[in-house]
Amino acid sequence: MTAVAERMAATAELLSAPPFSDRDDAVCRYAFTPGFAATVDHVGSLLADAGLRVRRDRAGTLWGDRGAPGAPRVGVGSHLDSVRRGGRWDGVLGMLVALEVARAAPDLPVRAVAWVEEEGAGFGQLLLGSRIATGAVDADALATAIRALDDGRPFTEHARAAGMPTAACTESAAILDGMVAWIEPHIEQARVLEDTGTRLGVVDRIAGFVQGELVVEGRADHAGATPMALRRDAGLLAAEVMLRLEELALTHGAVATVGDVVLTPGAMNVVPARARLTLDIRGPHDAAVLGTLEEVLAFAGERAVARGLRTDYRERSRQPATVLDTGVVDALADAARVEGIEPLRMVSGAAHDTMVLAPYVPSAMLFVPCVDGLSHDPGEAVDPADAALAVRVVTRAAHTLIGGRDG
């Protein structure tokens, strides 16, 4: 193993356990837990050792950079927070690549960024740090609407308690100043690279998504005394919707999941009066996502009438599919070829901060295979040689992107 690969593996291991994780059987850290704070401090000191000026924005996003003020920068990074029972490489890989790029190329004007609260495990909002930086989430929302899942207190209160300079409201946007390109290295979180024996994927598109909740209202009746024909069973409509959603996703070329179903009152001998089911629909093309959503809701409405039920749909969030920048995609692909790897062009099915940044900064992602496609799990594993390869590719691509800019 090369020295870089060894160092990356050792740091990923160090950060996978207390005090950098809030539990010892998995990686768990979200804004602003003790494990999260310790991890951000540690990675901040590593970036400083690599010669970067390190800062925190008002929300807790860590960034460090180098180069003359106002001069172009290439941004590299990802996130340091995790899901509540996560693995050691999700997000961390991107930060370790940024760190090693800074070490490998002492003259490169690089900006390393760890976006706060990407996974939403602390405040229930995906991609929060990047959305703050791009102005999609404002100070009001942080002080009122966006609250901790654990104790219901607003984001701002938690940030202040964690020592974030919440008054400096404009600083988040400064992270994007002068950024001529953004590269997010990340584990693939699927098995495509592994199955095709490819060591790198260049992501040229990120799937869009819509998430919401369908509530079905029926009537609670006795499970023995009520004849089938007289029931208004909310659970049966939930079942019909789940199966129809599968068909529609297949027809439209989307992926769709009902990941959470709650039947109320939830007793063996009572016909369900209420069903609440989550809908998560994603796809590389917005028409597929929205078509699936529209048709499944229409279906639910029709079947509800037939069964004497009522339905109500509430959307939680949506993000359009994101086409990434050809220049950054090509720079990464060319750099991989110089390293002797023909990379796979890919769509990211998972959401990443890069989809928020892409409208503001020319952006792309570099995927590294993870063993068995496993992610959001303590078993998450990466071949350190692939991580080190990503460092070489990103370093080369960053030089091209900065050089092209100067020339």
Query: Which residues form the interface with Zn ion (CB under 5 A)?
Result: 90-91
Please, what is the minimum distance in Å from the beta carbon of residue 90 to Zn ion?
4
* Cβ distance to Zn ion smaller for residue 90 or 386: 90
Please, what is the minimum distance in Å from the beta carbon of residue 27 to Zn ion?
11
* Cβ distance to Zn ion smaller for residue 75 or 91: 91
Angstrom distance (rounded) from CA 402 to CA 407: 9
* Cβ distance to Zn ion smaller for residue 119 or 233: 119
Please, what is the minimum distance in Å from the beta carbon of residue 25 to Zn ion?
20
Q: What angle do CA 7, 118, 89 make, to 5 degrees?
A: 25
Distances (CA, A) of 179 to 60, 65, 107: 19, 11, 16
Please, what is the minimum distance in Å from the beta carbon of residue 229 to Zn ion?
50
* Cβ distance to Zn ion smaller for residue 91 or 235: 91
> 106: closest CA among 70, 73, 74, 66?
66
Q: Which helix (H) or strand (E) holds 95?
A: helix 92-104
Q: Is 347 exposed, middle or buried (0-12, 13-18, 19+ CB in 10 A)?
A: middle
* Cβ distance to Zn ion smaller for residue 185 or 291: 185
Angstrom distance (rounded) from CA 215 to CA 205: 32
Please, what is the minimum distance in Å from the beta carbon of residue 114 to Zn ion?
11
364 near 204, Cβ under 8 Å?
yes
Please, what is the minimum distance in Å from the beta carbon of residue 183 to Zn ion?
14
For residue 240, what are its two tokens?
């019909």
* Cβ distance to Zn ion smaller for residue 91 or 122: 91
Distances (CA, A) of 113 to 5, 40, 361, 379: 21, 11, 14, 26
